[in-house]
Amino acid sequence: MQRAVQRVVEQLGLAAGQVRRLFHGRGGCVPGLEWLVVDYLPPVAVIRAYSETLPEPVDVLVEALLAEGVEGVVLQLRGRGRGAQSEVLAGEVPDQLVVEEAGLKYQVKPLQNQNSGLFLDMRPGREWVREHARGKRVLNLFSYSCSFSVAAMAGGAESVLNIDMSSGALATGRTNHQLNGIPTTLVAFMAVDLLRSWGRVRKRGPFDLVVIDPPSFQPGSFVAEKDYRKVLRRLNEFVAPGGQVLACHNDPAHNEQFLRQLMEQEAPEFGFCQRLAQADDFPERDPEMGLKVLLYKKGV
Ligand SMILES: C[S@@+](CC[C@H](N)C(=O)[O-])C[C@H]1O[C@@H](n2cnc3c(N)ncnc32)[C@H](O)[C@@H]1O
């Protein structure tokens, strides 16, 4: 636990008040602490334990966080046999917070089971989109709380169409635009099951930049193993000549080759350009296990 404490203190220094992963045990770089993750959602920290019960006490970690000025600490147990459960271990933790990343604001819910509202490992993806969105018509598939849309509009996108089957996630998406003073006249939110809505998406296109960031395994909605190829098969209809695609996948069981093969088979009109570097606060012993964000261009 002492190694986790040391890393957490270092990372808090680098966070400089911005949202950041403070300890990424899941990356396997610290043997014995693969179960432990700590996220900083200023001014609070969330300790996530991927186990049924706490494998070892976290008191020393909580003390270190408080000593560094963190105002509240949440523990979330995320064992497979149970739904995630949250408990406030110290200090004050509000239901809702606004955090900052690269000067943009996002609403998060630190006490929420499972996802808090912003996927921290996607920071390099948002950064890339912000830097490359100028003048583009963007399609954001599986948009969740629309952080890619906020980044695209902040980067000067012409328009964004966000698609997610969860109207609650899209409502947070609207809030995220408002928090950043981005008018939503050029931003659309479509609450539909993508796998049943191809015609509606095609009608709104073509697009110059498409972001695909689906869940790995959400039975009944999307299972990457069988459904990812269904999305890629449609890409050519949606994307304008010379358009770009950012294809993301976060299943440790699938390596980069899984996604590259699917692209070759289902979207041969697109050429592979690069894999974006992973965020420096998400060190992975085996980079194949971490987030894959692949950039493609039509007609390369
Ligand atoms: C991994 S999250 C996306 C994260 C998001 N791209 C971001 O940057 O924050 C997956 C999202 O896919 C949505 N989803 C799952 N199956 C879907 C489907 N068949 N059609 C539309 N949305 C779906 C879920 O509601 C969830 O919000």
Q: Which domains does the chain have, with CATH numbers?
A: 2-108 (3.30.750.80), 120-298 (3.40.50.150)
Can you tell me which atom of ligand 1 is nearest the CA of 213? 6
Q: Report whether the peptide linkage leading into residue 268 is cis, meaning its omega lies within 30 degrees of zero.
A: no
Q: Are strands 239-249 and 207-212 parallel, antiparallel or unpaired?
A: parallel
Can you tell me which atom of ligand 1 is nearest the CA of 142? 12
CA distance 132 to 157: 9
State the pLDDT at residue 82: 58
From ligand 1's centre to the CA of 141, what distance in Å? 7
Q: What is the mean pLDDT of the chain?
A: 95
Can you tell me which atom of ligand 1 is nearest the CA of 126? 8
State the pLDDT at residue 114: 77
Q: List, in sequence order, every beta strand (DSSP E) within 122-216.
A: 137-141, 159-163, 187-190, 207-212
- The answer to whether 10 touches 20, Cβ cutoff 8 Å, is no
CA angle 178, 101, 24 (to 5 degrees): 135
pLDDT in tens, 239-258: 999 999 999 999 989 999 99
CA distance 76 to 87: 6
Q: For the whole prediction, is pTM greater than 0.85?
A: yes
State the pLDDT at residue 32: 94
| Confidence check: pLDDT of 288 > 90 | no
- The answer to whether 68 touches 7, Cβ cutoff 8 Å, is no
Residues in the ligand 1 pocket, defined by CB under 6 Å: 119, 122, 142-145, 147-148, 163-166, 169, 193-195, 213-215, 218, 221-222
From ligand 1's centre to the CA of 280, what distance in Å? 24
CA distance 24 to 29: 8
Using CA positions, which residue lies closest to atom 1 of ligand 1? 215
